[in-house]
Amino acid sequence: MIFYRVCDMRKTAQPPAPRPARTPAALDDVDRILLDELARDGRITNHALAAAAGIAPSTCLGRVRALVERGVIRGFHADIDPAALGRSLQAMIAVRVQAGARPHLAEFGEQLAALDEVIDVYFIAGADDYLVHVATADTEGLRRFVLEHLSARPAVASTETILIFEHVRPRARS
């Protein structure tokens, strides 16, 4: 299963309102150890996580739950290789929306996120409005995606496709 993320896209008549700047969460040393260990291995057992942090398993469970409730931990998911699903070609597609379509940006982003080929949708600042991470079986699948789901839409002013040769995930930082 691939999780799709759309940055705060609520259905409104206006472009997504800017979210207030989020202040860094108050984290102590134990929280930081828990987060570092979970970032390194999201499947770590509660007992192993508690041992790494030097706390009791019951305390560990409560602290992780609190981190989730506070929004520090946004979720747990599997990082699946798209090639294992027959989608070995990945690309980032910058999408610029027509000026007249700006009131429907949120809806547009949600529609993109619902497409099977889409891994992530980012609402961005700058010349473009969206950056869309997609995975397809081959160049023909990518071409078809761009033509059918982007270029064919009157709301889309332009696209720029950037192929991804390799994705190197950073290691968790201490």
159 DSSP β-pair partners:
95
CA–CA separation, 57 and 173 (whole Å)? 23
pTM of the model: 0.73
Where are the domains positioned within the chain? 29-69, 82-164
Amino acid at 52: A
Q: How many CB atoms lie within 10 A of CB 109?
A: 24
**Sequential DSSP letters for 55-103:** S-HHHHHHHHHHHHHTTSS--------GGGGT--EEEEEEEEE-GGGGG
pLDDT, tens digit, 9 for 90 and up, residues 70-83: 999 999 888 889 99
The architecture of the domain spanning 82-164 is 2-Layer Sandwich (3.30)
Q: How many CB atoms lie within 10 A of CB 45?
A: 11
Taken as a whole, the chain contains a residue count of 174
Q: Is pLDDT above 70 for 161?
A: yes
Q: Which of 124, 117, 119 is nearest to 150 (CA)?
A: 117
pLDDT, tens digit, 9 for 90 and up, residues 113-135: 999 999 999 999 999 999 999 99
Quick one: pLDDT at residue 94?
98
**Apex CA 39: angle with CA 43 and CA 46, to 5°?**
40
pLDDT, tens digit, 9 for 90 and up, residues 5-38: 333 333 333 444 445 556 787 999 999 999 999 9
Q: What is the mean pLDDT of the chain?
A: 86
CA–CA separation, 156 and 96 (whole Å)? 6
CATH fold for domain 29-69: Arc Repressor Mutant, subunit A (1.10.10)
CA–CA separation, 80 and 4 (whole Å)? 12
Residue 167 to residues 10, 56, 111, 143: CA-CA distances in angstroms? 30, 37, 25, 21
